[in-house]
Amino acid sequence: MTRLVVVSNRVADPRKTAAGGLAVALADALNTTGGMWFGWSGTIVKDGATGEGELHTQQAGDVTLATVDLSQEDHDGYYLGYSNDVLWPVFHYRLDLARFDAGHIDAYRRVNRLFARKLMGLLKPDDIIWVHDYHLIPLAAELRAMGCNNRIGFFLHIPLPPQTVLAAIPQHEWLVRALFAYDLVGFQSEADLIHFSRYVQAEANATALGNDRFRAYNRTVRAGAFPIGIDVDEFQALTQAKDGMDMYHRMKEEYSRRKLLLGVERLDYSKGLPQRMRSFRTLLQKYPENLNSATLIQIASPSREDMGAYADLLREMESLCGSINGDYGELDWMPIRYMHRNVARKRLPGLYRAARVALVTPLRDGMNLVAKEFIAAQDENDPGVLVLSRFAGAAEQLEHALLVNPYDIDGTAEVIQQALQMPLEERQARHEKLLYRIRRHDVHWWRKSFLDALAGTDSTDQRNQVSLRKPPLNEDVSAVNRG
């Protein structure tokens, strides 16, 4: 049997089930076939010290974990710099937050090349390689340049923006050319796939060959939408387990006289948190029957706190929640309970189940697994209502949720009111359809459909022919734009 090699920025021990969405999905894939998981060790070696690039391997059951240390300079440029100060904001349509510092791209390329070099020494000829996310876009091109002939697939967990937004990145042509070194490129949604198709046809003069295959740069790549799901059975079992049920009963008792609304995410500017707080304030203003009743629990786990945009968001959230509670709170009721921390994964399903309404209102999101977890955790006899942003990838599958435009503060407030008032019969009917959708496209379907598609790609198509020139620096933008 061919071995699966998963490559992602961070690596987790697949035997530990507490890991969360993506880690569960990849652990599941690796535990099925056995294989290797390769990525950054999480260790930063002081600049100049020996040990940078050191490879560590460790056996975790049938899975080999192989990790590499990074220097401070490489980590800062590759991870904080290019990945999270360029690719993350631009791919989430936030050109205003992108910082195109020239040094970042060098570190991004250096780390991808370092990963490729270390990985090459561990590969067997029949291995299938599955690369994950925006940190590692040029990995296959680097591997091909070193003579790697294996089948390589790439999955982008975040959105792919339209051509005109993507083209703001000085190295956009270099990045998309790098995607053509893969055999299969997977996106979360049909919208992302359309953006890819339009970009390559407009900017790279690609030919669409049919069956989602595109030819450009002397290579053929297959691209497809593979919406990621959750393990519905596992999440439902977690809901019924002791910690989940304890949490559920505690919340039901604590909020017996109130209607509970819930938001759960990383504190990230893509998640639309300030807009959500403003919509909630509008709800309290326009519908006073919610005073002393509707309570929003907002859990925002700390994320990338060493970056400026995140520190600004933290301050904005504290100020918004403070002012809403100050304006509307009573001695025995606070409209918002805002917590800047993680909730243990085993307790999270109980919290979802106790909520009458979930507010999942990102400004832009690749998929959004919280929406799917909320559906899985509901009591089907008395389910809660999902208010979902139309700009989350999940909205393509979950059209029976109440879809909102999170930028429209008043409109979102109206829909939250509709959710709070929704009769039981309608809640049940919507929930049944939503549950059907998340079951049909669960995480096992995602893994299998991606890997089947990758196995079915044409293996004879000039694997070594993609040539990645040095990425242009910021000052070369005009040259790139001229093509």
Task: By CB under 6 A, name the binding residues for ligand ADQ.
Answer: 20-22, 157-158, 228, 264-266, 299, 301, 342-343, 348, 365-370, 373
Minimum CB–partner distance for residue 22 and ligand ADQ (Å):
5
Q: Would residue 246 show up in a list of annotated catalytic residues for this protein?
A: no
Packing angle of the helix pair 424-440, 369-377 (nearest 10 deg): 120
Instruction: State the nearest-atom distance from the C-beta of 441 to ligand ADQ, in Å.
Output: 13
Judged by beta carbon, residue 140 or residue 348, the one nearer ligand ADQ is: 348
CB count within 10 Å of CB 156 equals 22
CB of 116 or CB of 359, closer to ligand ADQ: 359
CB of 299 to ligand ADQ, least distance (A): 4
Specify the residue, 20 or 329, whose C-beta has the smaller distance to ligand ADQ.
20
Q: How far is the CB of 263 from ligand ADQ (least distance, A)?
A: 9
User: Minimum Å distance from CB 396 to ligand ADQ?
Assistant: 12
Tokens of 107: 């570190």
Assess whether 157 carries a catalytic annotation. yes
Strand partners, 115: none
Q: How far is the CB of 23 from ligand ADQ (least distance, A)?
A: 9
SS (H, E, C) 88-114: HHHHCCCHHHCCCCHHHHHHHHHHHHH
CB nearer ligand ADQ, residue 223 or residue 264:
264
**Cβ atoms of 143 and 166 closer than 8 Å:** no
Residues in the chain: 483
235 touches 376 (CB < 8 A): yes
Residue number with CB closer to ligand ADQ (20 or 162): 20
Of 365, 400, 431, 442, which one is the catalytic site residue? 365
Nearer to ligand ADQ, 203 or 373 (CB): 373
Q: Which of 482, 477, 475, 457 is nearest to 180 (CA)?
A: 457
Among 75, 104, 157, 400, the one annotated catalytic: 157
**Of 22 and 119, which has the nearer Cβ to ligand ADQ?**
22
- What lies within 8 Å, CB to CB, of 391 at 6+ separation is 362, 363, 364, 365, 405, 406
Q: For residues 90-101, b (16+ Cβ closer than 10 Å) or e, as one string? A: bbbbbeebbebe
Minimum CB separation of residue 311 from ligand ADQ in Å reads 18
Residues identified as active-site: 157, 365
